[in-house]
Structure 1
Amino acid sequence: MKCDWCQAEGAQETSTTVYWELPDGTRAIEITETPGVSCPACGMEYQTDSVINELEDHLMIIDTKKLNKSTSYKELLKQPKLLKKNYFNFQE
């Protein structure tokens, strides 16, 4: 796999902890076991655009007031949706 940052081969899929600001800006939460990429060449750990979009879209359509300070990625995606989709994502 090629690193998006340094373009070196050898980047690997990994699972990381990220900290995400909620869409309403009231607080940030810890999201554990988030799919990501780790590059041994440059040391960068990051999430792909698809994971970022999935997180952002899901946080827009759930009741974030019910979220704990920390949750796993899988548990976050299991949260009941208030809307069918993120109607604020105009890139679709």
Structure 2
Amino acid sequence: MTTCFWCDSPQVTVTRQTVYWELPDGLRAIKITGTPSISCAECGMVYQEEAVAEAIEDQLFLIDTTHLAKTITYEELMNEPRRLKRNYFR
């Protein structure tokens, strides 16, 4: 059973939300729709679990971000072809 990272409440649901993420070069941010998220009914926080945040960060680091549109779905982002196999800096 998942509990809220912020308040430890068990009243959480898995949702898909829109998030905004800064690209690794720091020059712009993109809108990522349908991102796996956790929503807490008790404290109202909506957040991404660490594994999801790390997956997004790694993917943005490993792909060519110059051609990304301002808006992309989570699935489209994760399916972008990688330049490297993995993040060797982790």
What range describes the TM-score normalised by the shorter chain of this pair? over 0.9
Counterpart for residue 54 of structure 2 = 53
Misfit runs of 4+, over 4 Å: none
Q: Secondary structure at the match of 1:42?
A: coil
Question: RMSD of the alignment, in Å?
Answer: 0.6
**SS of 2:33 mapped into structure 1:** strand
- Please give the alpha-carbon distance, in whole angstroms, between the structure 2 residues aligned to 1:62 and 1:86: 11
Matches within 5 A, 1:1-92: 1-89=2-90
Percent identity at matched positions? 51
Q: Provide the C-alpha distance between the structure 2 equivalents of 1:18 and 1:88, rounded to a whole number of angstroms.
A: 24
In the superposition, the TM-score normalised over structure 1's length comes to 0.94
- Structure 1: give runs of 5+ residues left out of the alignment: none
The CA deviation at 1:66 is 1.1
So what's the TM-score if we normalise by structure 2?
A: 0.96
Secondary structure of 1:6's aligned partner = coil
Give the aligned length: 89
1:88, 1:19 → 2: CA distance?
23
